[in-house]
Amino acid sequence: MAKRFFVILALALFIGTNAFSQEWENILEYNNDDFECFKFYESKELSDGNVGVSSEYYYRSGYGDFYSAHPSVAKFSPNGVELCRNIFYKEGYAATSRAPYLFENENNELFALTTFSPDHDYTYFNYFKNFDNPPTDAIVGLYKLDENLQVEYSYEHSYPIDTFEFRGDLFWENFPNEASGNIFIFSAFKEEGDIVGAYVKSVSSSPDNSRGNDSLFFFRMNFEGEFLQKKGYDVGNGGGTWQTIRRRHHLIRTENHYLLYDGINGESDGYYTQGVVRYYDLNFDYITMKFIDCKDCGGNIFEELSDITVKRSRHNTTYLVSSKRNDDISQDCRLYEIDDDINIASDYVTIKRYVDRGTSEWDYCPATCSVDIADDNSVYFACNLNRGWMWDRDSYVMIERFDVDLNSISVLFYDIAGGDGIATNVSNINLTKDQGIILCGNATDMHSDTEFKYITKFPASAFVNIEEAHSHGLKLAVAYPNPGGDVMNIRTGLRNATLQVYDMQGRKVHQQIITDEVTSIDASKWENGTYIWELRAGNGSGNGSENGNENGNENGILESGKWVK
């Protein structure tokens, strides 16, 4: 198996009076001829300082791709060395909730919560009908793990599941484990010594919707695997589409209620809505619903909030992140702060403020969590500037830090290889106790069959000034689309810097002052080829400015890169 493993460590570097804390990057590399693949999904700093990573593990299916997932976990030391990993494989089953949820109880013992449902990928050796006694149930399981991530105790709950198949339908062919009967946990968090969460039990998709309706369940479980509370609701339709449009972290707790955020487009009782918030009491009894109306936030009535994740602020509001579809080739990422007080006399929640980030084409939010909150109440937001996923172009992870009023403090960009045809995506952003940032994600080499699965940590200092950002592999600006055509866009959080563009003969072809988040340059008259762009402090004279040499280099260059027309 052509798999390679890299660890990059930068420890305790000191420049002047600025201390650089630990920073590390851990990358797994896979090629199309590999039989298996391990994918980092969501990180969690543990009580002992190690980092637990809920993950997915794949064997190659008959279609020549990695499809049916198995729950898996990994653990890293505080300085990024992988300590151990484990895969929870069950014959005939797939992990329909993707990676497990990781929790520690009051004794700091580690647990994994996951689900198993019959595997309907018939091109796969683990297809459930390949066995003499094929599974007819779905499992919700809580597993106590030892220090090496081996299962010490299993607490499993089995439920009969719909195993009907409708072959020939496009949805079935592309997403057999989503179209079939399954159980999917889409939210789970620790609360007062227990686990609170929500899952959907789905029936199989059928052309006449004759299989019945899906069911939504809220639950409270203790760390002995017992359901202390459970409440179920008929969702009014069926067909197992929950995994294709929902991610994680839709459910939050306020002082007196649970709030479930969801994306629904259309008209309901005279209300146009792009999403809804459903309110439940602490016994999971339904109370009411309020609408999320984003039409005045740059949206329109035909949109639907998707890829939703929510995070509760410390001042009784909710941060909602969502991808917003604009048309068939355009999607951007939105961060909203929402006042969702149930006592507000309106059928709508109040959108206090929002930010909109993206390119003119396809961008999307991380799959598990896009937002986290620092101790000083600043907000960290990650999104995928993801043109490279659909086209043969570079793409980047954008990490933006905001103050409590969502005013931008800093904007930085990350990719695992510095560009050159690498499309880098992020699935999760998470703050650690020392206020460092951990990212999990994957990247694709657009010029080969190589894929990368990574987890990386940046110290808090990397988001303070230019010098430290650069020392930890972060960029202050990116050029896209790359390769491009008649327009080159520069995206940066810098202001009043000078952009200069040179051809490979060293001739300056463009210069202007940067004043906006995105600067578009007319490149229609430029010859095809490679260009070097530079952002300089001040007027771009090359002599630096008051801060130019301190925060850039001796030539006053704050950021630079290549762009190909």
pLDDT digits (tens, 9 = 90+) for 405-446: 999 999 999 988 665 678 899 999 999 999 999 999 999 888
Whole-structure pTM value: 0.90
| Residue 187: per-residue pLDDT | 96
Q: Which of 24-33, 289-298, 536-545 has the lowest mean pLDDT?
A: 536-545
| Residue 548: per-residue pLDDT | 35
Token pair listed for 404: 């409590």
- 27 occurs within a structural domain: no
Residue 515: which residues within 8 A CB-CB, separation 6 or more? 495, 496
Token pair listed for 416: 């695992």
Tell which of 210, 245, 280 closes a domain: 245
What's the length of the chain?
565
| Residue 257: per-residue pLDDT | 97
Neighbours of 560 (CB within 10 A): 19
| Residue 283: per-residue pLDDT | 97
Domain count along the chain = 2
Mean pLDDT of the chain: 87
35 burial type by CB count under 10 A (0-12 exposed, 13-18 middle, 19+ buried)? exposed
Tell which of 185, 220, 245 closes a domain: 245
- Segment 44-55 mean pLDDT: 96
**How much of the chain, in percent, has pLDDT values that exceed 70?**
88
How would DSSP label each residue in 6-50?
EEEEE-SEEETTEEE--EEEEEEEEETT-SEEEEEEEEEE-TTS-
- 499 occurs within a structural domain: yes
Contact by Cβ (8 Å): 293, 304: no
66-80 pLDDT tens trace: 788 999 999 999 999
231 burial type by CB count under 10 A (0-12 exposed, 13-18 middle, 19+ buried)? middle
Contact by Cβ (8 Å): 177, 135: no
Quick one: the chain helix, strand, coil %, rounded to 5?
Answer: 5, 50, 40
User: In the predicted model, is pLDDT for residue 4 greater than 50?
Assistant: no
| Residue 448: per-residue pLDDT | 85
Separation of CA 443 from chain center? 13
- 231 occurs within a structural domain: yes
Q: What is the CATH number of the domain that holds 504?
A: 2.60.40.10
Contact by Cβ (8 Å): 113, 132: no
- 339 occurs within a structural domain: no
| Residue 298: per-residue pLDDT | 63
* Cis peptide preceding 78, ω within 30 of 0: no
- 448 occurs within a structural domain: no
Q: What is the pLDDT confidence band of residue 272, given thresholds at 50, 70 and 90? A: low
User: Which has more confidence, 548 or 239?
Assistant: 239
Neighbours of 529 (CB within 10 A): 11
User: In the predicted model, is pLDDT for residue 555 greater than 80?
Assistant: no
Which residue in the block uniquely carries the two structure tokens 């994680």? Answer: 248
Q: What is the pLDDT confidence band of residue 33, given thresholds at 50, 70 and 90? A: confident
83-113 pLDDT tens trace: 999 999 999 999 999 899 999 999 999 999 9
481-527 pLDDT tens trace: 888 999 999 999 998 899 999 999 999 999 999 999 999 999 999 99
Q: Which of 75-89, 193-207, 278-292, 437-451 has the lowest mean pLDDT?
A: 437-451
Amino acid at 526: W
Residue 140: which residues within 8 A CB-CB, separation 6 or more? 113, 115, 156, 157, 159, 183, 185, 199
- 506 occurs within a structural domain: yes
Token pair listed for 135: 């599974």
Q: Which of 111, 88, 83 is nearest to 26 (CA)?
A: 83
* Cis peptide preceding 118, ω within 30 of 0: no
How far CA 193 is from CA of 106, 220, 221, 260, in Å, comes to 7, 10, 9, 21
User: In the predicted model, is pLDDT for residue 365 greater than 80?
Assistant: yes
| Residue 6: per-residue pLDDT | 35
Q: What range defines the domain where residue 110 resides?
A: 89-245
Q: Which of 239, 251, 246 is nearest to 207 (CA)?
A: 239
| Residue 341: per-residue pLDDT | 96
Distance CA 410, CA 477 (A): 11
Distance CA 342, CA 290 (A): 8
- Segment 382-396 mean pLDDT: 80
- Collapse the DSSP code of 1 into the 3-class scheme (helix H, G, I; strand E, B; otherwise coil) and give the result: coil
- 225 occurs within a structural domain: yes
Q: What is the pLDDT confidence band of residue 302, given thresholds at 50, 70 and 90? A: low
Q: Where are the alpha helices (DSSP H) in 394-516?
A: 466-471
Q: Which of 299-313, 342-356, 444-458 has the lowest mean pLDDT?
A: 299-313
| Residue 89: per-residue pLDDT | 95
Distance CA 30, CA 315 (A): 44
Contact by Cβ (8 Å): 193, 106: yes
Please list the residues that pair with 497 across neighbouring strands. Answer: 514
- Segment 230-242 mean pLDDT: 86
Token pair listed for 13: 């570097």
Q: What is the pLDDT confidence band of residue 245, given thresholds at 50, 70 and 90? A: confident
Contact by Cβ (8 Å): 462, 468: yes
Q: What is the pLDDT confidence band of residue 260, given thresholds at 50, 70 and 90? A: very high
Tell which of 245, 261, 283 closes a domain: 245
Token pair listed for 242: 């929950």
Amino acid at 421: G
114-167 pLDDT tens trace: 999 999 999 899 999 999 999 999 999 999 999 999 999 999 999 999 999 998
Q: Tell me, what DSSP letter sits at residue 195?
A: E
Q: Which of 116, 301, 101 is nearest to 198 (CA)?
A: 101
